[in-house]
Amino acid sequence: MADTEPVPDEMPAAVLTGFGGPEVLELRRVPLPVPAEGEVLVRVAAAAVNNTDVWTRQGAYGLPGRPDALAGWRGPVDFPRIQGGDIAGTVARVGEGVGAEWTGRRVLVDPAIYDGPSGDANPVGLLGSERDGGFAEYVVVRGERIHDMDESPLTDEELACLPVAYGTATGMLERGGIVADETVLVTGASGGVGLAAVQLATARGARVVALTAPGKDQLLLEAGASAVVHRHSDSAVVSAAVSEAAPSGLDAVIDVVGGPLLPVLLTHVTDGGRWVIAGGIGGPEIDFDLRRLYLHNISLIGSSMHTPAQFARLAEDAVAGRVRPRIASRYGLSAIHDAQEAFTRSKHIGKIVLTPS
């Protein structure tokens, strides 16, 4: 292994000990991980909080046929587990088979674990869930999962906002084939993935209609949205507002909410349109009329994270400065319980960032 700096034998980490409330997330000192062949040791400069962290702690993903079963993203989780999928930092050591020129470089980490080596491989795991992640001073990752950010104008904290939220949004836009001049509705538009989708779709030249809670209009307009529609308890009110904002219909929907609005808003999707879904915070089980799909050749697309090629495109956007994440607040690693509590209150706009030092 090649070193750039002395590293300790132990490090602080936020360790998940089981499914449950905040009490199962413990601050500990743990042995420093050692990179094996093909791996690198990254000194974490910043990490960000996601729904995935909270839902994994809660075991909220369910199992096939058992929606209320305690489970992680892919089912069982091996405890103890260091959480954290959003990671930016500096390469401190490289394992055998990784070029020594990587030592000392500022990097963005692709947190996905894939089912194969191709650029179109599917994610089957995630750092912080199936492997230890970045809520620690150091993390070991595969060498092919780091992207050089030495030339990026983004800060380490801004870079740490990208992997899960912007990676998921990039995957949704790619799978949905979003192109310039299309009208795209983004649900949950002020959340991490939603705000990322607004920015990225706008950068592609799409016209974005943002669906969100009242009081967040200015932020979304600044992010590039052409119109903002407010959530409402009466779905007919939302439907009427979408009709006004997109009188010619929607070419695509980028949906991280799901729930009862899906069948209502599906009627606004034009023939040959696409509905891409990557979340179900509004309700994972719904009823809708299948005829609205097949009679209008609408594609319903499930999207979980991103492929290696899609993340590489996001990394290029980061180097070029084409994205600029919004940071809602900052916490030290020792205040991770406060950070997760703030996250679950859903009052923030943008990303909540942790720094290990």
Adjacent-strand bridge partners of 277: 255, 302
Q: Which residues contact 284 (CB under 8 A, 6 or more apart)?
A: 62, 67, 258
User: pLDDT-derived band of residue 4, with 50, 70 and 90 as boundaries?
Assistant: low
Q: 99-135 burial, b for 16+ CB within 10 Å, e for fewer?
A: eeebbebbbbbbbbbbeeeeeeeebebbbbbbbbbbb
* Pick from 97, 96, 88, 75: nearest CA to 327: 88
Question: Residue 80: is the preceding peptide bond cis (ω within 30°)?
Answer: yes
User: pLDDT-derived band of residue 346, with 50, 70 and 90 as boundaries?
Assistant: confident
What's the mean pLDDT in 81-96?
96
> 200, 173 in Cβ contact below 8 A?
yes
- Lowest mean pLDDT of 51-55, 185-189, 248-252, 346-350, name the range: 346-350
What's the mean pLDDT in 170-180?
96
Quick one: pLDDT at residue 280? 81
29-74 pLDDT, tens digit per residue, is 999 999 999 999 999 999 999 988 998 999 888 888 888 888 887 8
- What's the CA dihedral at 42, 47, 51, 56 to 10 degrees? 40
Quick one: pLDDT at residue 150? 97
What's the mean pLDDT in 237-264?
93
* Pick from 161, 89, 106: nearest CA to 330: 161
What's the mean pLDDT in 144-166?
97
Higher pLDDT, residue 214 or 208 = 208
What's the mean pLDDT in 156-163?
97
Query: Does residue 1 surpass a pLDDT of 70?
Result: no
If you write DSSP's letter for every residue of 176-234 in order, what string do you get? HT--TT-EEEESSTTSHHHHHHHHHHHHTT-EEEEEE-TT-HHHHHHHT-SEEEE--SS
